[in-house]
Amino acid sequence: MTNLDPDLLRTFLAFAEGGSLARAAEKVNRSPSAVTAQMQRLEALVGEPLLAPAGRGRSLTPVGEELVDHARRILDAHRDAWLSLKGARADGRVSLGSTQDFAETTLPDLLRRFARSHPRVRLDLRIGRTKELTAAYEQGQVDILLAMRQAPATDELLVLREPMIWLSSEKGLASFDTEIPLAVLDPPCGFRSAAISALEAAKRPFRIAATSPSLSGLHAAVLSGIAVTARTEQFRSNGIEAAPSQLELPALPIAEFNLRVHPRADKIAGNLAALLADELPRSGAGG
């Protein structure tokens, strides 16, 4: 029976989730030619074409689409086995600092997997804003940091990039004249700065219609139709959708988040960080 190399499956999933060989190469930290060679090796093992020409790029064949689910299950089992062997006798404490978006979307399932494999490890969770979490991390109070990227860092394991988008209530704005009503978090906030800069550059009149220190307050303001806001796809929910094109809102930049592990963190923190680095790219970003 042919064995499917997990490294090949990881690269294959990077292509399936990123949509191009170039994005897959960036994600797995290999050259595009190395990624192409890996895909050819995987196709030889499977005995069927997995990728097919599609315009200037490639797309999944029906066999490739079928392999996606199998690859995810194989890699999940591989990761769970590795974590279990590493964590069965592990005892200690790990401190994780995360922005609220991750805490309410992607983190719960990943922390559940870690807790199953590390039953004796205590998790100290800090959920907050990027500025405060980064300060705690730099003071050694947090082992793992998952927050908006301030600048490139030597200790970052992963950089997540996701487009910022304009979001509003699916019922529309409660009132609107010539100024765009804007809902933002209290400063400092990268999304706030990006939204204001984009509107100013486009010379669109706007007013700050709602502010909040937390995402729950921001969510309430947008859901009620008081204002629009700039976030990522992670903020979309029942009642909140992409702002209508009739508002003619300007383009927004890419949001960047990073996963950092403190140089003084122990192996247990490294195990959790490795799980997050592997799984977060599948889930999208937020923060």
**Cα gap 185→132, rounded to integer Å:** 14
Quick check: is 189 in a domain?
yes
Q: Domain holding 45: CATH number?
A: 1.10.10.10
Quick: pLDDT tens for 229-258.
999 988 888 899 999 999 999 999 999 999
Please report the pLDDT score of residue 84 as a whole number. Answer: 64
Co-location of 40 and 170 in the same domain = no
Please report the pLDDT score of residue 230 as a whole number. Answer: 96
Please report the pLDDT score of residue 38 as a whole number. Answer: 87
Quick check: is 160 in a domain?
no
DSSP bridge pairs for 126: 97
Co-location of 223 and 193 in the same domain = yes
Co-location of 202 and 182 in the same domain = yes
Contact between residue 153 and residue 178 where contact means Cβ atoms under 8 Å apart: no
pTM of the model: 0.69
Give the burial class of 102: count Cβ atoms within 10 A of its Cβ; 0-12 exposed, 13-18 middle, 19 or more buried: buried
Backbone dihedral region for residue 148 (phi beyond 0: left; psi -120 to 50: alpha; all else: beta): beta
Co-location of 191 and 232 in the same domain = yes
Intervals of the chain under pLDDT 70: 1-2, 82-91, 282-287
Quick check: is 205 in a domain?
yes
Q: How many CB atoms are closer than 10 A to CB 215?
A: 22
Co-location of 184 and 242 in the same domain = yes
Co-location of 189 and 60 in the same domain = no
Contact between residue 269 and residue 261 where contact means Cβ atoms under 8 Å apart: yes
**Cα gap 112→33, rounded to integer Å:** 37
Domain count, the chain: 3
Co-location of 77 and 54 in the same domain = yes
Looking at 85, 117, 135, the residue that finishes a domain is 85
Co-location of 169 and 248 in the same domain = yes
Looking at 55, 85, 115, the residue that finishes a domain is 85
Q: Domain holding 219: CATH number?
A: 3.40.190.10
**Cα gap 271→52, rounded to integer Å:** 37
Please report the pLDDT score of residue 287 as a whole number. Answer: 38
Contact between residue 243 and residue 228 where contact means Cβ atoms under 8 Å apart: yes
Contact between residue 167 and residue 235 where contact means Cβ atoms under 8 Å apart: yes
Quick check: is 1 in a domain?
no
Co-location of 205 and 276 in the same domain = no
Contacts of 31 (CB under 8 A, 6+ apart): 25
Helix (H) or strand (E) holding 148: strand 144-148
Co-location of 243 and 173 in the same domain = yes
Please report the pLDDT score of residue 18 as a whole number. Answer: 78
Give the burial class of 128: count Cβ atoms within 10 A of its Cβ; 0-12 exposed, 13-18 middle, 19 or more buried: middle
Using DSSP's 3-state secondary structure scheme, residue 126 falls into strand
Please report the pLDDT score of residue 98 as a whole number. Answer: 94
Quick check: is 27 in a domain?
yes
Q: Look up tokens 């199998």; give the residue.
A: 70
Residue 101 lies in domain: 91-155+259-283
Co-location of 63 and 139 in the same domain = no
Structure tokens at 220: 């309430």
CA distances from 200 to 173, 179, 230 (A): 21, 12, 14
Closest alpha carbon to 260 in 137, 168, 175: 137
Co-location of 169 and 119 in the same domain = no
Looking at 64, 85, 106, the residue that finishes a domain is 85
